[in-house]
Amino acid sequence: MIPKPFTRSAGKWLAGGIGRNRFGGGIVLGVHRSGVDHYGKAKPPAGDDADALVDRFMPKYEVRGHHKTLVAAPAEVTLSAATELELDRCALVRGIFKAREWILRSEPNQGTLPRGLVQQTKSLGWSLLAERPGRELVMGCATKPWEANPVFRTLRADEFAAFRYGRLTGG
């Protein structure tokens, strides 16, 4: 049996999250309607924001955001830690996936995933598109994330670059 204080605090947390989400959604809608976001007209990255490896696969953006976090470690160590990351061990990530299952009424993944973020994504259908060994990985796939149980379609690097709106173009 779940204690009442836990149920009450979980309910307050959920209600607060929904309220913040609705408020944030209103802001996004307001910005979108005002034309400030320029959806579909994102400018290509320049200077330090440019990433030639990613830009090979996504030369045009509908929306672009750029975030940086400086890490006091060599690139090789940072990349290794990121590739071995196990997101399913994080309660917040598990909660997000459970909420998605509940909202979309999807079936939970019953399979056992391999360890490490890169191996997990590869097992789902993602492919390694490009790499700068020890520094950078670019992975991708084709999917319809709005579906309850999305299927991740593996694409080769040349296919990914030519993929547009559910079909291969120019080749």
Structural domain includes residue 170: yes
Provide the pLDDT for residue 24: 44
Burial zone of 56 (CB within 10 Å; 0-12 exposed, 13-18 middle, 19+ buried): middle
What does the alpha-carbon distance between residue 154 and residue 166 come to, in Å, rounded to a whole number? Answer: 13
Provide the pLDDT for residue 12: 54
Provide the pLDDT for residue 163: 81
Structural domain includes residue 85: yes
What does the alpha-carbon distance between residue 31 and residue 12 come to, in Å, rounded to a whole number? Answer: 28
SS3 content of the chain, % helix, strand, coil (to 5): 45, 10, 45
Contact 144, 150 (CB under 8 A): yes
Provide the pLDDT for residue 27: 46
Domain membership of residue 169 as a residue range = 69-171
Q: What is the pTM of this model?
A: 0.67
Structural domain includes residue 38: no
Structural domain includes residue 4: no
Structural domain includes residue 117: yes
Pairing of strands 163-164, 167-168: antiparallel
Q: Which amino acid, 54?
A: V
What's the CA angle centered on 147, arms 94 and 114, to 5 degrees? 40
Q: Is 11 helix (H, G, I), strand (E, B) or coil?
A: helix
Question: Two tokens at 167?
Answer: 């079909």
Tens digits of pLDDT across the chain (171 residues):
555 554 455 555 544 554 444 444 444 444 444 444 567 777 777 787 788 888 888 877 777 777 788 889 999 999 999 889 888 889 998 899 899 999 999 988 777 888 899 999 999 999 999 999 999 999 999 988 889 999 999 999 988 888 866 665 554
Specify the number of domains making up the chain: 1
Structural domain includes residue 148: yes
Structural domain includes residue 91: yes
Structural domain includes residue 94: yes
Alpha helices, DSSP H, located in the chain: 4-34, 52-55, 75-83, 91-104, 117-124, 157-162
